Amino acid sequence: MDRRIGAHVSISGGVEKAVNRQEDAGGNCGQIFAGSPRTWKVSSYEEEEGEKFHELRGEGDQNPYVIHSTYLVNLATPKDDLFRKSLKCLQEELEAAGKLGVEYVVFHPGSHTGSGRENGIERIAEGLDELDIPENVTLLLENTAGKGTTLGKSMGELRQMMEATDTDNEKIGVCIDTCHAHAAGYELREQEGFEDFIQEIKEDLGLENLKVLHLNDSKDEKGSEKDNHEHIGEGNIGLDGFRNVVNSEALKKKPMVLETPVEDDKGYRENIEELRGLIE
């Protein structure tokens, strides 16, 4: 089985350019933004663009793809205006995915900002139920580092969000980020701790609900609640942690997308090669 490992690439100059960038990085799956990640603006796409993107992906054997939602989205917020803006933005991103033939849209569940955990989870569920998720698109909740009032730090919290919604669970799932899991206190480096982590995924989420992995090393210590990505093997998760991830029987069929730093002397290609070199 050909392992699916790719990277988050730019759509600058047109969404089809992402396919070439992915090829240059040595990836065979990928992730993009559908607009600017620090604004509410989502690009609108024509059917032809979607067909071209899909055709090029097919030629390059690049699948699946993910749209990462803007960082501004916060479905857990008690503020109605922010909640409405977040829903509108997510809906537009889901529609972009539908047009482009992108399989997944991933978003950070958000922060309750003082309204309380239970209220935040209920609010997220309310938001999910208002969204119209296109056919062939799955919306993914991403685990978080857990800083402040952000929700989604534990597998159990993600499960509660999925259980609280009336949305068909076939339309929603989970994306797990290794840097966020490490920051939240999960052990990825030592075999026993890593196996406990996998067991928690199985029991709390169900492996079938885990659709995508974000592979990022961490600049910070385990349990720091800080979300600072590092090159594979150069951070506090280290090569032992990623060796566990890429060789895990439970995870090896899951697409793995890198969001590691891109610098003049080191980018996605080197990180993907590092990961592929760890596969036993």
Options 108, 112, 231, 243, the catalytic residue: 108
Any catalytic annotation for residue 3? Answer: no
Options 180, 182, 231, 243, the catalytic residue: 180
CA atoms of 218 and 241, how far apart (whole Å): 11
Options 23, 92, 259, 274, the catalytic residue: 259
CA atoms of 125 and 223, how far apart (whole Å): 27
Options 38, 84, 117, 276, the catalytic residue: 38
Options 4, 214, 231, 243, the catalytic residue: 214
Any catalytic annotation for residue 231? Answer: no
Any catalytic annotation for residue 234? Answer: no
Any catalytic annotation for residue 68? Answer: yes
Options 8, 57, 229, 231, the catalytic residue: 229
Any catalytic annotation for residue 214? Answer: yes
210: left (phi over 0), alpha (psi -120 to 50) or beta: beta
Options 59, 61, 71, 118, the catalytic residue: 71
Options 68, 112, 123, 243, the catalytic residue: 68
Any catalytic annotation for residue 8? Answer: no
Q: How far is CA 56 from CA 18, 52, 60, 97, in A?
A: 10, 6, 6, 16
CA atoms of 32 and 56, how far apart (whole Å): 15
Any catalytic annotation for residue 65? Answer: no
Options 93, 122, 177, 217, the catalytic residue: 177
Residue 52: is it exposed, middle or buried by C-beta count within 10 angstroms (0-12/13-18/19+)?
middle
Contacts of 187 (CB under 8 A, 6+ apart): 193, 194, 196, 197, 222
Any catalytic annotation for residue 259? Answer: yes
Options 227, 243, 268, 274, the catalytic residue: 227
Any catalytic annotation for residue 108? Answer: yes
Active site residues: 38, 68, 71, 108, 142, 177, 180, 214, 227, 229, 259
